[in-house]
Amino acid sequence: MPLVHCIVNPASRDFTCGKNWPSIEKKMKDAGLEVKSYITERVGHGAEISNSIRRQWEEAGDGGESEGKPPVVVAVGGDGIAHEVASGLRGSELILAQLPHGSGNDYAITHGIPRSDIDGAINIIAHGVDRQCGAWRLEGHPCREEGGYPAPKANPWDGEPENQDTVVRWVFLETDAGITSDISRAKLRRAKWIRGPKKYTYLGITSIPFWPRRKVEMIVDGEEPQRFSISVFAATTGETFGGGYRIVPNMYPTRENGSIVVAGFLNRLKMLMLMGPIKKGKHVGKWGIYQRDANKVQLRPIDSSGNASNVPVGHDTYIQADGEPVIRLPATISWHQNQITVRGAEQVKWDSKGKV
């Protein structure tokens, strides 16, 4: 009977994940899996647990648990717990799987894991395909605590920052700056009663009219700096975030190069009108919005004197790590291949090679 380690975020989907976990665990056992479960107690706990599982296996072997094969570690919940578990496993042989039970579940979308079919998701845990996937390295200035969400701190599994006052996060789904990150920052204090994509739609409609403008400097792959009034910047490992919004079309986790989508100045009406096209991935090419390959992006805020700043200035420009707006500009984002092994569906639209 294969052993799987399940790291459960009980707060996912308005605490229904914790309530439903006993019945989900029974389904997994009925499917022939041996389950060892861990319940997270605070933000970041999932990474601590997964990194502990990793260290135990690397230091002492698996003790015969899985016949010498790397353990499967399952993130149970939404994209937040998937990010935490992936962070603790990154760079190891251990396999990340997911049982989606969150609001957006875009990580599940990317890897072909059904979001509303528990039995189907369990089947992928037992019999899915393992793929080597890339991730974005994000380094920037930590945000302040807000809405009970703590300010980020340095984690040993993320590696050392290049600068003294910055922190590192690895991004396994998406990182974005501009109005989209401001909308996600708002979710820490508002609209907690709304589920799924409707939450982001509501927050967008109520945030955009009051969003202060800010200018940034962007350097892509060492090219000449560009300065513009930022509306949207997004870099992803798959196409979607926010519960299915196709923000970076045709991006996928095994891609050789990263891909970014950038929008300069958009008036507030265009920002509101943009939500429909983004949902369908039809926004690139509208109103000067463009997409390009990029492997390293440096973003710095412009201060009141018109200079690019190496510290946060003016209105904070947030940049997200897998849906959590915990970093402020200035920040650097870089694409790295083969960072984590992910178990997904046998067939996903971005992979025509079949089993690996």
Q: Two tokens at 154?
A: 């340095």
d(CA 255, CA 104): 23
Closest CA to 100 of 72, 129, 127, 80: 80
Residue 104 DSSP label: S
Partners of residue 306 on adjacent β-strands: none
135-338 topology per CATH: Tumour Suppressor Smad4 (2.60.200)
Domain boundaries, the chain: 3-128, 135-338
Q: Two tokens at 241?
A: 């975030």
Partners of residue 216 on adjacent β-strands: 228, 301
pLDDT value of residue 21: 94
Q: Two tokens at 142?
A: 């930590």
The DSSP bridge pattern shows strands 259-263 and 232-236 to be antiparallel
pLDDT value of residue 355: 39
pLDDT averaged per 10 residues, the chain (length 356):
91 87 95 96 95 93 63 94 96 96 89 94 96 97 84 92 94 90 76 69 79 92 96 93 88 96 91 84 93 98 95 90 87 97 94 52
d(CA 211, CA 206): 10
d(CA 97, CA 341): 9
pLDDT value of residue 149: 78
CB 33 within 8 A of CB 125: yes
Q: Would you call 273 exposed, middle or buried from its count of C-beta atoms within 10 A (0-12, 13-18, 19+)?
A: middle
pLDDT value of residue 268: 83
d(CA 342, CA 323): 19
The CATH superfamily of 3-128 is: Probable inorganic polyphosphate/atp-NAD kinase; domain 1 (3.40.50.10330)
CB 138 within 8 A of CB 176: no
d(CA 241, CA 200): 10
pLDDT value of residue 35: 96
